[in-house]
C-alpha cells in the first residue's frame, strides 16, 4: 500500500522534470517530484551551465591575450583554473539550490531517491539508505529521467586518464595534451575551452566533418578558429579510435586514419560520442510502456505513452537532446494532466545552439536538410564582416543565412547563424517560424543600429534581393 497519494508524480528533476513539477504546482495539482542524484539534472550540474561558464571565462582570457591590435596590451596575464572552477561551482550551487526551492515554493513535494514504476499508478522510491517507500498517483506519472553517456568498449572512463564531460568541466589544470573521441557539440565546446587555456587538443571524429549534420559552410568557420592561430588543434575526421593503453601515467590512443594507424599520447582522453536514454531499470517494460529500438519512450503529441496515466518528456523520449525542449514538454505535460483544453506539444521549430568559437545557432530547416529533402529554397545571406557592430566588438567571422520558400512568397523556412551572439540572435528566427512569417515581415521590421540583429534583417532583405549593406544576387 502506498504511503501517500498524489495527483501527479514526476520522476527526475532536470530541465524537464522540475519544470513539470513547478507547473503542476502552479495549476493546483498535488505533486511529488523525485530525484535520485542532483536537482537540475545534467544541464545545471555538469552540462549546459558549467560548460558555458568555462567557455565564457576561457574566451575572456583568450580575447585579452589577443587584444593588442585594439590598443590593449596586458602583461603577465595569469589564468587561475582552480579559482575559475570555484566561480563556476558557485553558479551551479546557486542554480541547483534554487531549483529545489522553486519546486517546493510552488506547492510540490520533493523526495530523494531512485524511482521505479510498480504499476501504472504506483511509484516505489528507494532512498540512499536503501529504505523503500511507495507513492500513488491518481492523475499521472511523468517520466523525465534524461540520458546517460554512451561508453565505448576499451575506453571506459576511470575519472582520471579517461574522462567524460562530467569530469571535464571540473579539471583543476589544463592537460598538456587532450585527446577527444567525438567531434560533436560536447567535444568541440570543451575542446575549445582547454585549447584557450593552453592545451594541445586532438579531435578524433568518425564522420567526414566535425559537428556532423551541421551545414558545411558553417563548420568551415568554426574549423578555421579551431585549427589555426597560435595554438592550433588537430582534427582527424573519418578516423576511428581503435584502442587505449595506459602507460606511465599517460593514455596511448591508437587511431585508424586515412588507411594508416597512428598513436596519440595524451594526458587526458575525453570520450564524447553521445548519449543514450535513461529508460532501463524504471519498470517501464514490466508496466507495458512502449520503447523504440534505441530505448526512447514513445509518446504522442500530448506526451502520453501507450499506457494511460504515464507520460514522458525530455531526452528520455528522444531527440533532439535540448534542455529548452525538455522544459517546453514539461509545461505541456503538466497542462495535459491538469486538464487544460488545447494543451498539446505544437511547436513549429525547435531552436538549437552550439557554443563554439564562434557560436552556431539554427532553427527550422537547414540547407543540408533542404538538399536531402530535395525541396526548392532561396537563400539570403549576410556576413558579419559587413556589420559595423561586429567590427566594433572585434568579431566579424561568420554569417547569417536564411532559407525561404520561393513557391510561397518567401515564407520563412529556417535560419542558421554562425558568428557572435548567434545563440541570442536565433530567437528572432524562432519567432518568425512560430508566427508563420514571410521574409518581408522581418525585412520590413526596423532593427536598431548599430546591432548584430540588423544582420538578421539584412539577410531576409538579401533573400528578397533588397539588401542595402551587401550586394544582392543578380536576378535571373
* Res. 340 pLDDT band, cuts 50 70 90: very high
What is the arrangement of strands in the sheet containing 250-257, beginning at the earlier edge strand? 239-247, 250-257, 260-266
Q: How far apart are CA 239 and CA 192, in angstroms?
A: 20
Q: How far apart are CA 210 and CA 219, in angstroms?
A: 7
What's the rounded mean pLDDT across residues 32-46?
95
Q: How far apart are CA 103 and CA 34, in angstroms?
A: 11
| Predicted local distance difference test score (pLDDT) of residue 313 | 98
Catalytic residues: 449
**Residues 50, 56, 61, 65, CA torsion sign:** positive
Cell digits for 425? Answer: 540572435
Cβ 184 vs Cβ 206: under 8 Å? no
Domains and CATH numbers, the chain: 4-149+276-337 (3.50.50.60), 162-273 (3.50.50.60), 352-463 (3.30.390.30)
| Predicted local distance difference test score (pLDDT) of residue 12 | 98
| Predicted local distance difference test score (pLDDT) of residue 3 | 80
| Tally of CA atoms within 13 A in the half-sphere of 89 that contains its CB | 11
289-322 pLDDT per residue, tens: 999 999 999 999 999 999 999 999 999 999 999 9
| Predicted local distance difference test score (pLDDT) of residue 2 | 61
Q: How far apart are CA 25 and CA 93, in angstroms?
A: 23
Average pLDDT, the chain: 97
| Predicted local distance difference test score (pLDDT) of residue 474 | 77
What's the rounded mean pLDDT across residues 439-460?
98
Amino acid at each position: 500500500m502506498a504511503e501517500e497519494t498524489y495527483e501527479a508524480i514526476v520522476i527526475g528533476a532536470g530541465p524537464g522534470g522540475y519544470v513539470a513539477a513547478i507547473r503542476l504546482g502552479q495549476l493546483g495539482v498535488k505533486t511529488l517530484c523525485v530525484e535520485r542524484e542532483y536537482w537540475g539534472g545534467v544541464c545545471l550540474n555538469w552540462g549546459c551551465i558549467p560548460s558555458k561558464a568555462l567557455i565564457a571565462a576561457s574566451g575572456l582570457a583568450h580575447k585579452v591575450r589577443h587584444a593588442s591590435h585594439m590598443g590593449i596590451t596586458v602583461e603577465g596575464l595569469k589564468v587561475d583554473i582552480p579559482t575559475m572552477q570555484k566561480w563556476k561551482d558557485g553558479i551551479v550551487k546557486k542554480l541547483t539550490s534554487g531549483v529545489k526551492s522553486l519546486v517546493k515554493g510552488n506547492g510540490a513535494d520533493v523526495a530523494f531517491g531512485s524511482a521505479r514504476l510498480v504499476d501504472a499508478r504506483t511509484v516505489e522510491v528507494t532512498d540512499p539508505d536503501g529504505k523503500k517507500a511507495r507513492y500513488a498517483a491518481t492523475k499521472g506519472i511523468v517520466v523525465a529521467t534524461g540520458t546517460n553517456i554512451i561508453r565505448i568498449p576499451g575506453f571506459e572512463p576511470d575519472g582520471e586518464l579517461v574522462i567524460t564531460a562530467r569530469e571535464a568541466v571540473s579539471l583543476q589544470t589544463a592537460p598538456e595534451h587532450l585527446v577527444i573521441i567525438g567531434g560533436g557539440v560536447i567535444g568541440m565546446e570543451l575542446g575549445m575551452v582547454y585549447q584557450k587555456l593552453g592545451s594541445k587538443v586532438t579531435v578524433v571524429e568518425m564522420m567526414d566533418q566535425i559537428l556532423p549534420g551541421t551545414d558545411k559552410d558553417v563548420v568551415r568557420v568554426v574549423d578555421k578558429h579551431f585549427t589555426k592561430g597560435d595554438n592550433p588543434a588537430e582534427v582527424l575526421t573519418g578516423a576511428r579510435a581503435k584502442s587505449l593503453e595506459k602507460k606511465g601515467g599517460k593514455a596511448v590512443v591508437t587511431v585508424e586514419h586515412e588507411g594508416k594507424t597512428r598513436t596519440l599520447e595524451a594526458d587526458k582522453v575525453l570520450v564524447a560520442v553521445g548519449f543514450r536514454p535513461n529508460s532501463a531499470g524504471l519498470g517501464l517494460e514490466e508496466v507495458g510502456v512502449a520503447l523504440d529500438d534505441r530505448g526512447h519512450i514513445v509518446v504522442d503529441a500530448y506526451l502520453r505513452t501507450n499506457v494511460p496515466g504515464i507520460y514522458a518528456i525530455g531526452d528520455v523520449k528522444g531527440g533532439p537532446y535540448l534542455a529548452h525542449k525538455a522544459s517546453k514538454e514539461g509545461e505541456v505535460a503538466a497542462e495535459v494532466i491538469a486538464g487544460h483544453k488545447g494543451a498539446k506539444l505544437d511547436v513549429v521549430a525547435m531552436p538549437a545552439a552550439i557554443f563554439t568559437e564562434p557560436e552556431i545557432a539554427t532553427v527550422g530547416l537547414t540547407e543540408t536538410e533542404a538538399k536531402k529533402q530535395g525541396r526548392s529554397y532561396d537563400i539570403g545571406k549576410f556576413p558579419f564582416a559587413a556589420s559595423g557592430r561586429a567590427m566594433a566588438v572585434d568579431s566579424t567571422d561568420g554569417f547569417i543565412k536564411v532559407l525561404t520558400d520561393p513557391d510561397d512568397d518567401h515564407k520563412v523556412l529556417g535560419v542558421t547563424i554562425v558568428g557572435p551572439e548567434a545563440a541570442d540572435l536565433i530567437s528572432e528566427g524562432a519567432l518568425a517560424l512560430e508566427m508563420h512569417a514571410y521574409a518581408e515581415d522581418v525585412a520590413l521590421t526596423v532593427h536598431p543600429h548599430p546591432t548584430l540583429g540588423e544582420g538578421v534583417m539584412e539577410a531576409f532583405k538579401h533573400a528578397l534581393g533588397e539588401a542595402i549593406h551587401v550586394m544582392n544576387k543578380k536576378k535571373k
